[in-house]
């Protein structure tokens, strides 16, 4: 029974004999006994049904067949060595890949984190997929994406039972956002719920967790918002704000990055927006996934400490974009 024909060990034995022109010297070099070498190479020759070595002279030489075969054997061993190195490079993160799912909102928020990750691990390829929140949850569950960046408080019970686990990234205050030409632009005094009901709004549609978050707030406070436009495009929302007539509700970190778009507080206050990483619970995680989650964990904790409930300073993103301050 040829269980171990052409094992790397046998190939190395052959190559050593070819190099040293002697079973005895090759055996010494390989730290095995000469009879071991003799027997193993004999079995290799028998399994290949060809004589690889010419033993008739004083020194051992490769036959024509042996010459041909050692070329292939060397390349085969080279592939195995390269394979071993490659998987260890993967483990030390000099190479790899990562699939991230994000909504348009979290795409915006996480961009600095992605940039930081790529700076730190340039050999890892990150592919990001923009999708609605529900698709992120199912994508993680079905292993179509490695990590989702989503809102926590809207995770479905189905997601929770699907073996999804969460890791806090950061908490974001939400406020009314208006363009420069809007009559509320620049006012320090918060809007009350009655005034809020009078404002025509442009909002994301209900595919998005942010929208559902707003709907829940309105339901809880008995507010009937005046929704003029619904869309699935954040860009569309920003453009409409600039026209000056409509308002929207957005995380502060997005607002402060838009030219001539202003925050206005709402009372009662909108619950803060919690951004989390979601991944499959108790399943294999690649080194790249683990590295991203580690980076995000350190980054998010710093982020949380630095965001006050009501901000008077510059855009929080400039603080968050420099995690190396520690």
- The window from 3-11, 115-123, 186-194, 197-205 that contacts DNA (CB under 7 A) reads 3-11
Q: Using DSSP, how many helices (H) and how many strands (E) does the chain show? A: 13, 12
Residue 43 touches which of DNA, a second copy, none (CB < 5 to 8 A by kind)?
A: DNA
Residues with Cβ within 8 Å of 307's Cβ and at least 6 positions away in sequence, in order, are 170, 171, 172, 173, 316
User: By the 8 A CB rule, do 238 and 211 touch?
Assistant: no
- Considering only residues 220 to 279 of the shown chain, the ones binding DNA according to CB under 7 A are none
Residue 73 touches which of DNA, a second copy, none (CB < 5 to 8 A by kind)?
A: a second copy
Residue 77 touches which of DNA, a second copy, none (CB < 5 to 8 A by kind)?
A: a second copy
- Considering only residues 24 to 83 of the shown chain, the ones binding DNA according to CB under 7 A are 24, 31-36, 38-43, 55, 57-60
Cβ at position 142, least distance to a second copy in Å: 9
Nearer to DNA, 39 or 224 (CB): 39
Q: Is 1 in the site for DNA (CB under 7 A)?
A: yes
Residue 223 burial (10 A CB sphere; 0-12, 13-18, 19+):
middle
Nearer to DNA, 66 or 303 (CB): 66
Residue 115 touches which of DNA, a second copy, none (CB < 5 to 8 A by kind)?
A: none
Read off the DSSP letter of residue 2. -
* Residue 26: count of CB within 10 angstroms of its CB: 23
Cβ at position 38, least distance to DNA in Å: 3
Cα of 192 vs its chain's centroid, Å: 41
Element (H, E) at 40: helix 34-48
Contact residues for a second copy, defined by CB under 8 A: 3-9, 48-52, 54-57, 61, 63-65, 68-69, 71-73, 75-77, 79-80, 82-84, 86-88, 90-91, 95-97, 143, 280, 282-284, 286-288
DSSP string, 62-109: E-HHHHHHHHHHHHHHHHHHHHHHHHHHHHTTSSEEEEEEE-HHHHHH
Which positions touch DNA (CB under 7 A)?
1-4, 7, 9, 22-24, 31-36, 38-43, 55, 57-60, 282
């Amino acid at each position: 029974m040829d269980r171990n024909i052409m094992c790397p060990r046998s190939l190395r034995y052959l190559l050593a004999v070819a190099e040293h022109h002697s079973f005895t010297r090759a055996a010494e070099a390989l730290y095995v006994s000469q009879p071991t070498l003799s027997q193993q190479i004999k079995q290799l020759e028998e399994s290949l049904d060809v004589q690889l070595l010419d033993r008739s002279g004083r020194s051992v030489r490769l036959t024509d067949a042996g010459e041909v075969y050692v070329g292939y054997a060397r390349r085969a061993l080279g592939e195995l060595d390269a394979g071993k190195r490659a998987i260890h490079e993967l483990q030390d993160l000099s190479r790899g890949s990562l699939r991230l799912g994000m909504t348009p909102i979290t795409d915006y928020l996480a961009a600095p984190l992605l940039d930081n990750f790529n700076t730190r691990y340039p050999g890892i390829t990150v592919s990001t997929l923009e999708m609605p929140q529900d698709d992120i949850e199912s994508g993680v569950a079905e292993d179509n994406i490695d990590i989702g960046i989503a809102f926590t408080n809207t995770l479905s019970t189905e997601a929770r039972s699907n073996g999804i686990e969460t890791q806090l990234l950061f908490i974001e205050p939400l406020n009314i956002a208006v363009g420069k030409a809007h009559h509320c632009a620049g006012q320090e005094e918060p809007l009350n719920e009655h005034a809020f009901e009078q404002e025509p709004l442009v909002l994301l549609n209900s595919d998005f967790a942010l929208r559902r978050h707003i709907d829940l707030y309105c339901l809880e406070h008995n507010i009937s918002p005046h929704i003029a436009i619904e869309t699935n495009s954040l860009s569309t929302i920003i453009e409409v704000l600039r026209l000056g007539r409509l308002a929207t509700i957005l995380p502060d970190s997005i607002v402060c990055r838009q030219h001539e778009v202003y925050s206005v507080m709402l009372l009662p206050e909108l619950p803060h927006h919690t951004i989390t990483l979601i991944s499959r619970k108790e399943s294999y995680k690649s080194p790249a996934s683990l590295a991203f989650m580690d980076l995000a964990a350190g980054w998010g904790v710093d982020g949380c400490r630095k965001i006050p409930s009501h901000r008077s300073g510059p855009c929080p993103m400039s603080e968050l974009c420099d995690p190396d301050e520690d």
